[in-house]
Structure 1
Amino acid sequence: MDRPDRDDPIPGTTGARVDTSVPNVARMYDYYLGGAANFAVDREAAERALAVTPEIGRFARMNREFLGRVVRYLCERGIDQFLDLGSGVPTVGNVHEIAHQHDPRARIAYVDHESVAVAHARALLVDEPDVSVTQADIRRPAEVLAAPGVAGLLDLSRPVAVLAVAILHFVPDSDEPDRILRTYCDACPPGSFVALSHASMTTMTKSEAHRGQDVYRSTPTPLVVRSRDEIAALLDGCELVEPGLAPINHWPSDTGESPANGYGAVGELR
């Protein structure tokens, strides 16, 4: 991915508190997807990760496609409210774009902690009355759920889809990702859904995974690669829809291609 050495201003980020001395995982993810909301430090870290673990770039692309399929599935199930945790930098195929194709009045609350992601999203979505962008740490569910952009937009007496797509692998075990996700789910009424995707090892070697994790240790949010069983445990108490927990590029059906190095699932809350 060729990019100029200099960093051009990113739309909407003027005045945002941005630390460009260390790489950021949201901006690295944006780079993997071919976006422009990233800095030299992010591109350098992303290229180091790709050099040792090319599957990281494939996972990012496959995960984006997984998100699109999930949102379309949920819309078909009648969901018109979405809480997108760790939403990242807006790119083509964002949740609101897909949801609004089904229902122009669908409500989407984006939540992210990264300044560039939030500022860029707010600039792009300023004319979207049914979309909000909240800067908050998803590890603090009570604060997120009480934030004006969430509490003031979503009606939690009606079904909501909680999206934890490619975010919990940045939450260490010490922060109890299962408890965090359960807190969000417990705030939603029966008939709601939760969608999850998470990095794992399916075709990567342990050496590749470890070297990739070494790169992410240079960021404020190191990558935690969990096993399939560990990922499944994050969804305890949810009634998974078919096909259950599957490689993200084999959900909801097997594509016949090599599985991506990550699992995904959608669960209904009873």
Structure 2
Amino acid sequence: MTEPSYPDPTVMSHARAYDYVLGGKDNFEVDRQAAQAVIDLAPDLPALGRAQRRFLLRVVQMCAKEGIDQFLDIGTGIPTAPNVHGTARAINPDARVVYVDNDRTVFVHNNALLATVEGVVSIQEDVREPQRIFDDPKVRSLIDFDKPMLLLFIGLFHLVGDQDHPAALIARFRDRMAPGSYMCLSQFCTDGSDPAAKAKLEEISVNSPAPMCFRRRDEILPFFDGFEMLPPGLVDVQDWWPDEDQPPTALKVAAAVGKKV
């Protein structure tokens, strides 16, 4: 694989656009314009982004309390706080974390952030090449696939088209995971999403490196084959262990957690 070029400020990046949605500053004008076009149709998109972040952190906390001490976060996005390693280490100071993303901007930011953090690393790889992730020396130094772990796919698989066989990719990871491991996943869902906002999100992503791919819930459920799904199952992300009633959003993200038994 050739060395990826540095970030192109003329091409929209999903990671940078999501950073803008969450209120971050690590984005270019092309990212802000793309994200704002969707927000104009779905003004609650930032609330949906925050709900997805809460889901991520709750699952990390749950697994750390269950004794999980190794975390593989694929499609991590531009780092924000609180993060996976800080959340896990608040419960288990020895928790080990590997962040994986194929976006150069994410890799550069994570490397700068984690340069002096022992037991936490970032690599630039693609979920569509599982073996490269398994074989990476940094991954092998921190992740023992023979012991339980948490595998995170947050907001990733709506960027993986059907032509890349996402269920088969997830099965490659599942088959390497030890019993007692967990997987959490969230992705944009067709069911209940506002058609105009969905169409705009798909439209603005057409010329990006990863066009957006909404899926129905019945298309997402097979991603959890081989896992025992935890309550409340595959639900809107804001409904996964809610602290309080959350208003419905124009766009829907489905989320669930599975345990390999």
Tell me the TM-score range normalised by the shorter chain.
over 0.9
Paired residues of 2:12 and 2:31 also in contact (CA < 8 A): yes
Paired residues of 2:41 and 2:196 also in contact (CA < 8 A): no
1:5 match: none
2:175 match: 186
Paired residues of 1:203 and 1:259 also in contact (CA < 8 A): no
2:102 match: 113
Paired residues of 1:170 and 1:223 also in contact (CA < 8 A): yes
Deviations 1:112-136 (A, max 9, x none): 0111111111101111111010001
**What is the count of residue pairs matched by the alignment?**
256
Task: Give the Å deviation of 1:254.
Answer: 7.4
Alignment counterpart, residue 244 of structure 1, candidates 230, 233, 247: 233
1:31 match: 20
Deviations 1:136-191 (A, max 9, x none): 11111011111122112111121111101110110000101111111111111111
| Deviates further, 86-95 or 41-50 | 41-50
Task: Give the Å deviation of 1:209.
Answer: 1.0
Paired residues of 1:139 and 1:180 also in contact (CA < 8 A): yes
2:198 match: 209
Deviations 1:26-74 (A, max 9, x none): 0111111111211122112111221233343332111111111111111
Paired residues of 1:195 and 1:266 also in contact (CA < 8 A): yes
Task: Give the Å deviation of 1:230.
Answer: 1.0
**Aligned counterparts of 2:200 and 2:29: Cα–Cα separation in 1:** 21
- Secondary structure of the residue aligned to 1:198 is strand
Task: Give the Å deviation of 1:202.
Answer: 4.8
**Aligned counterparts of 1:53 and 1:233: Cα–Cα separation in 2:** 28
Residue 90 of structure 1 pairs with residue 79 of structure 2: yes
Residue 150 of structure 1 pairs with residue 105 of structure 2: no
1:222 match: 211
Deviations 1:11-35 (A, max 9, x none): xxxxx71111111000111111111
Task: Give the Å deviation of 1:205.
Answer: 2.2
Name the amino acid aligned to 2:259: E
Residue 42 of structure 1 pairs with residue 41 of structure 2: no
Paired residues of 2:19 and 2:26 also in contact (CA < 8 A): yes
With normalisation by structure 2, the TM-score equals 0.93
2:60 match: 71
Name the amino acid aligned to 1:264: A
Deviations 1:68-121 (A, max 9, x none): 111111111111100000001100111011001001110000000111111111
Paired residues of 2:70 and 2:150 also in contact (CA < 8 A): yes
Task: Give the Å deviation of 1:258.
Answer: 2.7
Name the amino acid aligned to 1:143: R
**Aligned counterparts of 2:245 and 2:229: Cα–Cα separation in 1:** 22
1:124 match: 113
1:264 match: 255
**Aligned counterparts of 2:137 and 2:24: Cα–Cα separation in 1:** 29
With normalisation by structure 1, the TM-score equals 0.90
Name the amino acid aligned to 2:130: P
- Secondary structure of the residue aligned to 1:234 is helix
Name the amino acid aligned to 1:71: V
- Secondary structure of the residue aligned to 1:152 is helix
Give the % identical residues: 36
Name the amino acid aligned to 1:211: K
Paired residues of 1:53 and 1:209 also in contact (CA < 8 A): no
Task: Give the Å deviation of 1:210.
Answer: 1.2
Structure 2 CA distance for partners of 1:254 and 1:202, relative to 1, 3 Å = farther
**Which runs of structure 2 are paired with 1:165-176 in the superposition (5 Å)?**
165-176=154-165
**Aligned counterparts of 1:55 and 1:144: Cα–Cα separation in 2:** 35
Name the amino acid aligned to 2:143: L
